Amino acid sequence: MRMSDETKPSHFIREKIDADLAEGRYPGVITRFPPEPNGYLHIGHAKSICLNFGLAQEYQGRCNLRFDDTNPVKEDQEYVDSIQEDVRWLGFDWENEPLFASDYFEQMYGFAVELIEKGLAYVCTLSPEEFKEYRGVPTRPGTPSPHRDRPVEENLDLFQRMRAGEFEDGTYVLRAKIDMSSPNLHMRDPAIYRIRHASHHRTGDAWCLYPIYDFAHCLEDALEQISHSLCTLEFEVHRPLYNWILEQVSVPRPLPEQTEFARLNLTYTVMSKRKLLQLVQEEKVRGWDDPRMPTLSGMRRRGYPPAAIRKFCDKVGITKFNSLTEFELLEFCVREELNRVAQRRMAVLDPLKVVITNYPEGEEEFFEAQNNPENEADGTRQVPFSREIWIDRADFMEEAPKKFFRLAPGREVRLRSACYITCNEVIKNEAGEVVELQCSWDPESRGGGTPDGRRVKGTLHWVSARHALPAEVRLYDRLFLEAQPDQVEGKEFTECLNPDSAQIVNAFVEPALDGFAAGSPLQFERTGYFTTDPDSAPGALVFNRTATLRDSWKKK
Ligand code: ATP
Ligand code: MG
């Protein structure tokens, strides 16, 4: 039974599952998330994770985390570890140990032998070029391989010798014997096993023969008794092969059914692991978890809350049509979540000194500030105040227009959570640059109001100079300048990188930011959403900007 969640829109896969269960096709819902451990997970994978694990939760079924590790050359334990960390971070878990396709290699080999014995597979020695030529084009039947009618005994012998390591890579393949005249090229006797003398990250040198994805994947699903095998649209043309293989071999019944949905594409982003690996290897970014990467580890480091990513995946929905989602939608979900949960603090990113001339030297006092106006339970903190403070340079203008409600000569503003100050004098250096403002405060305005009910329009954030902590703040922008970086004519996607995607500034932050856990959400008042970077250390604080407060990209 479905635990219906009224807040989530329904979609064709839910409807299909409801119908399948009503007909009694499956005893329950078992899905799987099957990453190949050849890279870190990205936001596209999040869509698949939310769908597969989400459906399992809804229908009180199960979702297996299964590593599709059938290609020994590109896979690595580092990826196996990062994938588990990322799935958990996103908020999902699996019941048992993660599963590995490589654990089924012996069984898969057995199913291949079963096909040979039934006269449904044969060993072929056509070269890759000949293979392609014989296969032909969809509009005309292909040419049968000269080895298509090799006797069963000979096939069994050759296949066993392929396993024993007698032959070089690329010399022999095992092919399913299906239909050389099918309009679907995947059904024209596809290769199902190839020779690869390569060490595997889990099975070591036990095998030099590896199953091809199309053969392995359906068997993995069937062996795990998956009910609904959900994959992206490009696998639609592979579905007849998926079904053919399972129907021929003695795997448990009922057989799983494959259903396809549209993959997630996001503007200003590349989403293939191969391209992301290229960015890492060519050092265009600082690693897989660079906060500008569309990887889950990058987004975690940047401060995107997992709840925002789940919400985003719900909003994108599940359809049968490929489309392009705006990056702004993801940022909208991030801001919405952060506005609710982020702790407010003050930080000055472009400091300008303000001296409060009528405040006694050497004295200090503390003002109470709210941690999160959206959530009373987050409480308050004490913010130190003294004679010298930092404000942001952009909050002062010497020749200010009427509508500028911040600081200017002769004007009065409120310091957030503190008091009112008035600018009396502007100090400049020899180059004529403003280096200091001399202001006076009204002690009566402590806490934010005055007995005479005087009102000021502007409120500035600030940090007491004596108490401030220096911090490195990393301001991130889009990684690419083009909405579809891998589809610009005549340009490599790496030529579309935004040269200003990371800017580093030296800031002053309030002392309460010391020791703030990496990843926990913060709002620097009036400046943006931030989080502590894992590089941060006592005395050397580092923060990443998660997002600006509002969508400023469109105005550029
Ligand atoms: P990539 O093209 O980035 O290498 P992949 O499909 O080869 O991705 P896998 O590790 O095989 O990567 O993917 C695991 C699962 O995630 C698959 O079921 C795949 O369909 C799904 N997936 C991958 N990319 C997306 C995406 N952009 N949107 C939705 N699902 C995706
Ligand atoms: Mg894949």
How is residue 103 written in tokens?
């654990």
The answer to whether 345 and 531 have CB atoms below 8 angstroms apart is no
* Distance (Å, whole) CA 124 – CA 146: 8
- From the CA of 294, which ligand is nearest? 1
pLDDT > 90: percent of the chain? 94
For the segment 90-101, the average pLDDT, to the nearest whole number, is 93
Q: Any catalytic annotation for residue 273?
A: yes
Ligand 1 atom nearest 274 alpha carbon: 4
Q: Which among 263, 315, 393, 446 is annotated as catalytic?
A: 263
What are the backbone angles phi and psi of residue 335, rounded to the nearest 5°?
-65, -40
Q: Which among 14, 175, 239, 273 is annotated as catalytic?
A: 273
pLDDT at 556: 40
* Distance (Å, whole) CA 455 – CA 32: 60
H-run or E-run covering 261: strand 257-261
Cα end-to-end distance, the chain, whole Å:
50
For the segment 129-141, the average pLDDT, to the nearest whole number, is 96
Residue with tokens 């004679």: 387
**What is the chain's alpha carbon radius of gyration, rounded to the nearest angstrom?**
31
DSSP of 79-123? HHHHHHHHHHHTT---SSSPEEGGGGHHHHHHHHHHHHHTT-EEE
Q: Name all residues whose Cβ lies below 6 A of ligand 1.
A: 34-36, 44-45, 47-48, 231-232, 263-264, 271-273
Ligand 1 atom nearest 231 alpha carbon: 20
The answer to whether 550 and 372 have CB atoms below 8 angstroms apart is no
Tell me the fold of 262-344+469-556. Answer: Ribosomal Protein L25; Chain P (2.40.240)
> pLDDT tens digits for 438-471?
999 999 999 777 888 888 999 999 999 999 999 9
Residue type at position 252: P
> Does residue 43 surpass a pLDDT of 90?
yes
* Distance (Å, whole) CA 307 – CA 313: 10
Q: pLDDT band at 550, cuts 50/70/90?
A: confident
pLDDT at 470: 98
> Does residue 1 surpass a pLDDT of 80?
no
Residue 35 CA, ligand 2 centroid: distance in Å = 7
> Does residue 238 surpass a pLDDT of 80?
yes
For the segment 525-539, the average pLDDT, to the nearest whole number, is 96
The answer to whether 328 and 315 have CB atoms below 8 angstroms apart is no
Residue 103 CA, ligand 2 centroid: distance in Å = 18
Q: pLDDT band at 314, cuts 50/70/90?
A: very high
For residue 140, how many C-alpha atoms fall within 13 Å in the half-sphere facing its CB?
8
> pLDDT tens digits for 338-365?
999 999 999 999 999 999 999 999 999 9
Residue 351 CA, ligand 1 centroid: distance in Å = 45
Ligand 1 atom nearest 276 alpha carbon: 3
For the segment 5-22, the average pLDDT, to the nearest whole number, is 87
* Distance (Å, whole) CA 67 – CA 32: 10
Residue 110 CA, ligand 2 centroid: distance in Å = 24
Q: Which CATH class is domain 347-461?
A: mainly beta
For a ligand 1 pocket test, name from 31, 43, 48, 212 the mutation site with the most ligand atoms within 8 angstroms of its C-beta. Answer: 48
Domain boundaries for CATH 2.40.240.10 within the chain: 262-344+469-556, 347-461
> Does residue 554 surpass a pLDDT of 60?
no
Here the contacts of 442-445 (C-beta below 8 Å, separation 24 or greater) are: 443/419, 445/414, 445/419, 445/420
For the segment 410-429, the average pLDDT, to the nearest whole number, is 97
For the segment 385-400, the average pLDDT, to the nearest whole number, is 97
* Distance (Å, whole) CA 131 – CA 125: 9
> Does residue 555 surpass a pLDDT of 60?
no
- From the CA of 41, which ligand is nearest? 1
Q: Any catalytic annotation for residue 302?
A: no
Q: pLDDT band at 475, cuts 50/70/90?
A: very high
pLDDT at 5: 60
Residue 240 CA, ligand 1 centroid: distance in Å = 20
How is residue 436 written in tokens?
């200091």
Nearest CA to ligand 1 atom 26: 44
Domain boundaries for CATH 3.40.50.620 within the chain: 12-261
DSSP of 286-346? SSTT-TTSSBHHHHHHHT--HHHHHHHHHHH---SS---B-HHHHHHHHHHHHHHHPEEE-
Prior bond to 254 cis, omega within 30? yes
For the segment 200-211, the average pLDDT, to the nearest whole number, is 97
How is residue 125 written in tokens?
């020695």
Average pLDDT, whole number, for the chain?
Answer: 96
Judged by DSSP in three states, 542 sits in strand
pLDDT at 524: 98
How is residue 400 written in tokens?
């200010």
The answer to whether 329 and 315 have CB atoms below 8 angstroms apart is yes
* Superfamily classification of domain 12-261: HUPs (3.40.50.620)
Please choose, from the candidates 351, 345, 414, 421, the residue with its C-alpha nearest in 3D space to the C-alpha of residue 384: 345
Q: Any catalytic annotation for residue 106?
A: no
